């Protein structure tokens, strides 16, 4: 028995030595592989940089190719004119000077245009005692945006159900329904002439719809992530859009292209708007800042700091001298554009404020929040003047009638309401 146990011990001892030898060999192999891999890290970085550089060059070549293709098309048209029988070459050369190759950008209006609201004393809206006079239903999911027609008693709405709709007021008859986005529709704005509507969507596109043809007239797909907000210029020739890709884009409807991209925010651009009768664009971002940009140069002119959470909305006063912004902490701030400082700080509770807008007088603020109510605040006295209750879920958007006769609100409870 002793001999057997000794043999078994020797066998296990030998097996243990072999395992230790294999372990030592594997450790050496691992160290050798680690050292070998270290030599590849600079090569991998260099390859990655080379790939990025080639990708940029590819994008530039694609742009050059498109420009050359456009130029070639123009030259082919000119050659066809020259080869037509009976065409005077000298006249053709004169026409050639007038021939413009490719789409033409619309010239921006002058900066010194007068604001028609200057010198007009509009009385403050007596909306503190308003009540819901009509509730409209039609969308299947949350109503994300509501806008008034500039000339007629018509309201436009968008929804998470991927549609936008036009409704006649005050009856609420459905006039037009638009379908074409492949994801939720986050916002809309109506052309100042009332002939078109622009919509932004979670499918990363901005679409322009024509009422005469009841079809999509253009699709802008330069954004790489969801579009949160869109707004028309007062001339109707331009659209600005804000996206989750940290940028806002300035679209020219004359050339149907992106004229400018506003870069500088480090988080989603949640709300955009034009300063009345100017070429300035205001943006509110998830990086807790509000910025004003020059559409001519694409540069940031002013940035307002003070919010402690993501900014959800931004809106100008009718005179364009004040900006109101709201954030996810339930705080609303009014900024003086000329002095570049905070004028009012309005705490509205712990619920996020989704929208804050001025009434046509610029003296009353309507503040919509996640609690389903609309608070009314007088900016001259800095006091609350009323609260509109009725929605059963978060109020996402609002708009005053141009004559301040009523207020329209859109809610996550799938309805939109009229308050008078």
How does residue 41 score in pLDDT terms, banded at 50, 70 and 90? confident
For residue 399, the model assigns a pLDDT of 96
Nearest to 377 by CA among 331, 319, 308: 331
Give the model confidence (pLDDT) of 333-388 as tens digits.
999 999 889 999 999 999 999 999 999 999 999 999 999 999 999 999 999 999 99
CATH of 127-419, one of 3.60.20.10, 2.60.120.10, 1.10.3210.10, 2.130.10.10: 2.130.10.10
Query: Would you state the pLDDT for residue 102?
Result: 58
With left for phi above 0 and alpha for psi between -120 and 50, is residue 100 left, alpha or beta?
beta
3-class SS of residue 346: strand
pLDDT above 60 for 20: yes
Cα separation values, 381 from 248, 330, 417, 420, Å: 35, 20, 28, 23
pLDDT score of 89 more than 80 = no
What CA–CA distance (Å, rounded) separates 125 from 144? 25
Q: How buried is residue 386: exposed, middle or buried, by Cβ count under 10 Å (0-12/13-18/19+)?
A: middle
């Amino acid at each position: 028995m002793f001999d057997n146990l000794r043999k078994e011990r020797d066998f296990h001892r030998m097996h243990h030595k072999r395992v230790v030898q294999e372990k030592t060999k594997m450790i050496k192999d691992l160290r050798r592989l680690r050292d070998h891999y270290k030599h590849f890290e600079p090569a991998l970085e260099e390859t990655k940089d080379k790939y990025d550089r080639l990708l940029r060059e590819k994008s530039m070549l694609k742009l050059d190719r498109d420009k050359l293709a456009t130029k070639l098309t123009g030259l082919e048209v000119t050659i066809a004119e020259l080869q037509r029988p009976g065409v005077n070459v000298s006249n053709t050369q004169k026409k050639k000077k007038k021939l413009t190759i490719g789409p033409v950008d619309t010239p921006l209006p002058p900066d010194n245009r007068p604001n028609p609201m200057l010198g007009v004393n509009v009385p403050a809206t007596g909306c503190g005692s308003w009540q819901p006079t009509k509730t409209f239903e039609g969308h299947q999911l949350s109503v994300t945006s509501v806008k008034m027609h500039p000339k007629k008693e018509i309201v436009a709405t968008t929804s998470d159900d991927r549609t936008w709709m036009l409704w006649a007021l005050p009856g609420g008859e459905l006039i037009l329904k638009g379908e074409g986005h492949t994801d939720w529709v986050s916002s809309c704005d109506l052309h100042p002439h009332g002939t078109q509507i622009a919509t932004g969507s979670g499918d990363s596109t901005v679409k322009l719809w024509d009422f005469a043809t009841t079809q999509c007239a253009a699709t802008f797909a330069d954004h790489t992530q969801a579009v949160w907000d869109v707004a028309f210029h007062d001339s109707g020739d331009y659209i600005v859009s804000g996206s989750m890709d940290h940028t806002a884009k300035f679209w020219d409807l004359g050339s149907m292209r992106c004229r400018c991209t506003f870069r500088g925010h480090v988080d989603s651009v949640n709300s955009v708007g034009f300063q009345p009768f100017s070429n300035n664009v205001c943006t509110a971002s998830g990086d807790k800042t509000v910025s004003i940009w020059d559409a001519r140069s694409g540069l940031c002119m002013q940035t307002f700091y003070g919010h402690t959470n993501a900014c959800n909305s931004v809106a100008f006063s009718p005179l364009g001298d004040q900006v109101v912004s709201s954030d996810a902490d339930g705080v609303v701030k009014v900024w003086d554009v000329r002095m570049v400082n905070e004028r009012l700080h309005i705490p509205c509770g712990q619920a996020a404020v989704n929208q804050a807008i001025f009434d046509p007088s610029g003296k009353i603020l309507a503040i919509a929040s996640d609690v389903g109510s609309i608070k009314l605040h007088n900016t001259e006295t800095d006091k609350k003047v009323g609260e509109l209750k009725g929605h059963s879920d978060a109020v996402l958007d609002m708009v005053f009638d141009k004559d301040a006769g009523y207020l329209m609100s859109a809610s996550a409870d799938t309805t939109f309401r009229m308050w008078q």
